[in-house]
Chain A
Amino acid sequence: MFQISVQRVTAAENNNNNNNKNNMSHQAANGVPCRGKVLTVDNMNPRVKKVEYAVRGPVVQRAVQIEKELREGVKKPFTEVIKANIGDAHAMGQKPITFFRQVLAMCSYPELLKDNMFPEDAKQRARRILEACGGHSIGAYSASQGIECIRQDVARYIEKRDGGIASNPDNIYLSTGASDAIVTILKLLVRGEGCDRTGVMISIPQYPLYSAAITDLGAVQVHYYLDEANCWSLDVAELRRALNAARQHCNPRVLCIINPGNPTGQVQSRQCIEDVIRFVKEEHLFLMADEVYQDNVYAEGCKFQSFKKVLFEMGPEYSSTVEMASFHSTSKCYMGECGFRGGYMEVINMDPEVKAQLTKLVSVRLCPPVSGQALMDLVVNPPQPDEPSYTTFMKERTAVLAELAEKARLTEQILNTVPGITCNPVQGAMYSFPRITLPQKAIDKAKEAGHIPDMFYCMKLLEEEGICLVPGSGFGQREGTFHFRMTILPPTEKLKVLLQRLRDFHQRFTQEFS
């Protein structure tokens, strides 16, 4: 449990609110009169109080403040903050895929279909999407599960990707980013009281959406450690250890796995995926496979294989029994279209009655953003070799992925030259999660100040170098170890600057606290 005091995004006082003088912290609640408020920290949903999300946590909030100060002319040892905290490619200058934006512009303003500035294949896709929308407008609600022809396209994409293994469009649910689908499944499955409370297995380190959702739903987090010494690989023995320990105090029913990994970047081997599948079958766990980085694979010898594909290749004993959901998104890969909130999940072997409940649950939110659905359609249905936009599309896609691969390599290489920093190969995804050695004095100083050591480190890095990273404690790590997560997304030149400053900072830091 981390005690992080959350800072406001801006320092400006809230003029409308007369209660500033009694800034209640959640620690001071006991015995303090509630000033007549209906909603207080005492009676609010206690689970929400415990939710944390480091990716947008205190370091980031301070970074935003610093940017404001820079704009106001405050002098600092740097002229800009380099934000390497969030997996947002466009924010770091990555360009959108031209074809996608052309189609979406025409979907938005169909008058442009008459214009000869756009190629025919883009127009054809725009027309098809609009045809499938109510009133031929992306402004109409769609069915809660998503536009039917888009779900069909997604199913076809999955079949093609997985070497022909059948995918049923009825098992596809379009969603508001992958996060929406992940939370929905958890919401569906979490139940029980006391020792029967649902346990959700998730890796350490993990993407903190999982821990936040688990906390929010009052489920029990069951963590299994990835093996840092072995490139963050997953050992089934560790899964078994975690599961058995958990059974003492909860009812573990779900196993979440992120592949390629976030924040660790490892791409699981075929063997590992098979082991996990065998494990979930033996132990009767629902498998959640977060595969949003499926196109982000850089390392030699690494290859993305979907859990579904491996499942079906293991034969009917597994493929007809293991229950799972896979997740994908428009936010990552080569598209990087975070702002569209596009995503989908495919559910496999779900009990039809439970699936009906799932369908009911998604209807409460009406439907996912139609522009995100349209974008997902293009991702799964990109220009083909015989189409006019193919060449440009492939050129752009290849360039983005090649640049990411290069930056992954560069990051690993440079970080490993810093004494006190070790970085595992960034095999995939968009991040490095290096381990940092902190001098004992620094650890003590941090604890004195009531801070977690890697948070202390990251805050200092931000204040002195204008670099914004996320402390490893936000993702989970083995006791006594410290890390940070940095994205590999800044443009190459800026990334080099970042890595250089980081190297200088780390050496200074080590000296200062020796």
Chain B
Amino acid sequence: CRQGSAVVSRLAPPQQVRLDADKETQTLSVTWEDGHASTFDVEILRTELMEMVLNETVGVTEDQSTGKHQWNWTSPVPLECTSLSVKVRSRDGQDVSEWSSQQILPGLDLPDNTDSQMYPEGKTVPVGSNMTFCCIVEEGQQFGSLWYKDTLVKENMLSRRTYATTMTNQGPSNPSGTNVVCSNEKKMIIAGAVVFVGYPPLPSDLVCETHDLISVDCQWSKGRDTYLFGMTRQTYYTLNGRNCPKARNSNMRCGLEQWDGNWTLVARNLLGEFRLTDAAELGHRVRPVAPVNLTTPEVYSWNASVGWLWKDKVKSLNGCLSGHQTYTGYGLNTVVLKDLQPDEKYSVKVRCGSQKNFWKWGEWSLPLSFQTKMDRPVAPDIWLWMDSDNLGRVLWKPLTKSESHGQISGYEVILWSPEENSQQTLTLPRSVYSLPINVTDRGSKVTVTARNPAGVSLPANIVIPRYLPDAEDTAISKVAFNGSGFPLSWVAHANASCGYVVDWYNTSCTQDCNVEWIKVAADNTNTMVQSGNFLAGVRYKFSLYACSSESTVLLERWHGYMQELVPSRTVPRLSPNQEGADVQLTWDQIPLEHQRGFILGYTVYLTNASHLTLLANITDPQLTNHTVRNLVLGSYKFTVKAYTAAGEDGGATVSISLEPYTYWLIMEILVALGTMTCLLIVITIAFTGFSFSIFTILWKTMPGTGLICVCFQGTLDVKPSPHSMVHIVEDSVWDSSKEALVTVPEEDEEGTGDEAADTDEPASLRYYNQVVEEGSSSQRRPHASDSSASSTGSMDSGHTDVTYTGIQTSACYRPQMQSASCPEEPQTGPEEHLQPPVGSFGGYQPQCSWKQDSPEADGDGLDQTCLGSPTSVTSSQFLLPYDTSEEGKEYPSSASTWFHNLLTGKP
């Protein structure tokens, strides 16, 4: 604040200072008189708090007419917010006058104005502008807070009751404006204001045109959203000074009654205005009105004429568009529509444009419907399918809408003799598309025609092809579906003057098959067979015929699947056939309709519970048998599955229980008995002079086992086969009246190290206990640790049978020594040596846990284990039942089973 000089100024202070406020624009106008200067100091204070708002030196010239000085100031704060004190003094360089008397512009926060208020209210400002809002608190209340939208803003105190905040860079408002509210200390709203923040209008793309060569129709784009709504804030438009009341929302158009050639559009709202201009000649902006009164004076099968009328001057225009065809001509009012379809309903509408200086197409006329007349149908697509030498079916495809040219009333079939001198004519209703025929003469021809109310079609002819059953197929190759169809290609045939025919049908169909066909032009040697009737898992046979006027010749055949699936059923008639230790499985091929794919082969599995072990993969689909070799006795399940490219079928399963080959055994026994008889006779004759007796029993090797079991009694020193041994066993089912002498397969003795020493013995006799204990193996008594104990245990069982007495041999007898190393079955592959399922055979096992307890047995040498010279031996403890548990698995051979069964009389 500049202070005045102590020297008395020669300048007089301004007089009659007056304040005028324009609160809407927040402008304060200060006027004074008697300044006699052109420079003045102006000082503005907030009256209540005496805060300086403005202290500025301004240049103001005197208005010569009134003799007053006037200076305007725009307050950033609404003038209602609080009272302002204004004083002015004259300045001439450093010389200043005294201050004028202070003038006060009263605010609305004076005590007599007790209500809460907020300013400014309802103002419209451009986006990005800054504004100061003030809240005058009601007398007696305490100010709380100021909110702009939903944001708490910082306030400044302008007076005892007035608080203000300044918002900068305001964003666009919503339609009802931005709320600014003031609350008291109780957070109750006491006052508020609304400000509308938006944009001035910014339209674009003004285009004016005429529809009737007289008036003007202008359109433009609204452009940027103003964010301002309501009667006072919305945008108003004028075109060449005339209001456009219908220009609202998105309908930005305005019309004038006369063509001016130049147009100016003014868009205006509270924030500003924008001007757009356009200029054009009348003939360059013609967009004709729609033609009226469309008529069809002439309608035929393949064409029709359409006429229309014009309004006013538009008839002098050139060019019209009808439907999707363009016709031109001066004053065009009728056109002929070509390339129509007979018996078809059409709807036509017309729009026009100026051919010269074309601007835009006019509006469409109302549509006019008409129907073309019928015409005779096209010749049907026919084919002849031979079911046998003389029987066949004439087939033809239903005519489509575009082919029938009207409602088909029926078909006529003519069967010609080879010389075409006789014919047989049949008339069929429109719903029939095939006719069975009996052809006796080769070279016969068939003619089919279709009929509708407009006439008869051209004849469709075909020469009856020769019937070729499948057996005569020289070559039928596979064709794969490629996703859209079956691609077929072939070598061109010289005698295909009228092209080729490819027909196809379901191969497994035997009667009244659905035959489809396509015809291929003579110059094509490939085609793609497509049909909506193709089904997955169905084999189709495709036949290619060369067509000529004289004959129809089969050229080639294919078959294929749209999609291969796994067979829908298992191989039929699966049966096993035992051949000694082998089993031959045989089966039939799956019927074609169940194959659902090309059978690629078969897989043979051994089934054990739910587990399948692959035995063989037969890749020849024609081979329908398989032999599983080297099976041991027992029950087996075999599963045979056919497979296609999609996978295997569910599998057919068959069971077999292997049994000794009875007839061969009987034969061998008889031979052995005969041999023995002969030998006895020879010995009797040869040793007549000697005083000794011979008692011999001889068994010959059992089939498949190579086992010889020999027992001698007497002084004859005959060394038995090192592999000979005797097993005496009892069936798992106790039968005290029967005993079983079972040969042990040679394989059972092999592969165990401990057994090697035994095989060196002259005679290795092994005894199996015949004690049969009821119950499971877990209930079985522990293996005897000595013979007496075993005997006792055996006796205790109550079922002990003293099974063997008097087996004597020249070799010393050695009881079983395998105490800790019980021989186990050698593991073999399923093919080489298959084991029956566990528990499939009940029997006895070697006395694996036997231990010597006699003093003689304590010796190390084998000799010490001998029981002495051949003597009568009585034992009741050397035979143990087979253990079916995991430890000590041992199964009798097929021979032993057979022999056991033979002796016990079982089949």
Q: Do the two shown chains form a genuine complex with each other?
A: no
- By a beta-carbon cutoff of 8 Å, the part of chain A in contact with chain B is none
